[in-house]
Amino acid sequence: MRKKRIVIALGHEALGTTLPEQKIATGKTAKAVADLIESDYQVVISHSNGPQVGMIHTAMSEFCRLYPEYTKTPMSVCSAMSQGYIGYDLQNAIRTELLNRGIYKTVSTILTQVCVDPYDEAFYHPSKIIGRVMTKEEALEEEKKGNHVVETSQGYRRIVAAPKPMNIVEIDAIRTLSDADQVVIACGGGGIPVLTQNNNLKGASAVIEKDLAAGKLAQMLNADMFVILTGEEKVCLNYKKPDQKALNVLTVSEAGAYIEEGQFEEGTILPKIQAAVEFIGDSAVKTAIITKLDKSKEALEGTTGTVIRK
């Protein structure tokens, strides 16, 4: 009998922020992932990279400021660096946890490129904040280079586009490893955004929403289930209000209505709901689950979390 294939989208809580935090966090995450592998699921993992890619971008920008003879590092390269950095800690932590349980299974990180549409509306309206806080003078210099800058409460920050994922370049490699029952880490941080130019792939100055990329990964792998792990045990209506209500089940049509009402905050829970809905599509058998990392096993057993279905 074929194992059920699940794609897991790990949030910030599963990774931490600093280098020491990430080591500790990935150790805890590995235990939750190993629980699911022990339950005989075929696991593919995607993850966030917000603090990490910001740290890398800031470090590389500061390096080029101190040493002007070096070329600035594009966002696509920073994204690639973050995939390797996070994947390194994550795959080793999962490998160690599995071996400690007597499970011998290869864990691999795939450096993943995700194609975006050059005419995506997001390129005309950049919205994702990245990098360090700048002075007004530094912000003006960034704008002279053709970059977009926005003023925040802390100071000036660079912003980039957040286009939708269209295709995953390395999907065949990911599928082959998954079919071999190996653990695969892919599409980290939404993937490396690239534009297709004939036979060439060119890095785009953008950041892809990680949950949408994870949902696209689940779609293209024809996964049975899409599991989104976040900071809350269940999706809530009227979040953090006196009449807050946790949802056990959410249908695709109900999700659409709640989105219209503005129930889900942009940049947090909204892309998770959108990714889940797009993954399910018209399928009557596919489901998505949103819950906390430490509740993932219970959620797959049906005792907690929010189940999203047709």
Higher pLDDT residue, 240 or 46?
Answer: 46
Tell me the three state secondary structure of residue 120: coil
Question: pLDDT at residue 53 above 90?
Answer: no
pLDDT of residue 1: 64
Strands 165-168 and 148-151: unpaired
How confident is residue 69, by pLDDT bands cut at 50, 70 and 90? confident
Helical spans, DSSP H, in the chain: 19-38, 50-66, 75-100, 136-144, 171-179, 210-220, 252-261, 270-280, 296-300
Which two three-digit tokens encode residue 11? Answer: 């949030």
Higher pLDDT residue, 132 or 206?
Answer: 206
Chain-wide mean pLDDT for the chain?
90
82 within 8 A of 167, measured Cβ to Cβ? no
Phi-psi region of 198 (alpha: psi -120 to 50; beta: other; left: phi over 0): left
Segment (H or E) for 2: none
Integer Cα distance of 86 and 189 in angstroms: 9
Average pLDDT over residues 75-98: 94
Residue type, 246: A
Question: pLDDT at residue 217 above 70?
Answer: yes
Tokens 């899409």, residue?
Answer: 226
**pLDDT tens-digit profile of 102-154?**
999 999 999 999 999 999 888 888 887 776 777 888 778 777 777 788 888 78
Residue type, 294: D
Which two three-digit tokens encode residue 224? Answer: 């049975």
Orientation angle between helical segments 75-100 and 50-66, nearest 10 degrees: 130
Higher pLDDT residue, 44 or 261?
Answer: 44
pLDDT of residue 62: 81
For residue 161, give the DSSP letter: B
Strands 225-230 and 5-10: parallel
For the beta carbon of residue 204, count every other beta carbon within 10 angstroms: 25
Question: pLDDT at residue 2 above 80?
Answer: no
Strands 156-160 and 148-151: antiparallel
Integer Cα distance of 112 and 245 in angstroms: 38
309 within 8 A of 289, measured Cβ to Cβ? no
62 within 8 A of 132, measured Cβ to Cβ? yes
pLDDT of residue 156: 84
Phi-psi region of 269 (alpha: psi -120 to 50; beta: other; left: phi over 0): alpha
**In the chain, what percentage of residues exceed pLDDT 90?**
59
Query: Which of 7-21, 23-37, 53-67, 104-118 has the weakest average pLDDT?
Result: 53-67
Contacts of 193 by beta carbon, 8 Å cutoff, 6+ apart: 75, 76, 79, 113, 114, 116, 163, 203, 204, 206, 207, 208
45 within 8 A of 181, measured Cβ to Cβ? no
pLDDT of residue 57: 81
**pLDDT tens-digit profile of 241-291?**
888 899 999 999 999 999 998 889 887 899 999 999 999 988 889 999 999
Closest CA to 109 of 85, 93, 82, 91: 91
Question: pLDDT at residue 213 above 90?
Answer: yes
Average pLDDT over residues 210-222: 95
pLDDT of residue 216: 96
How confident is residue 89, by pLDDT bands cut at 50, 70 and 90? very high
CA 216 to chain centre: 11
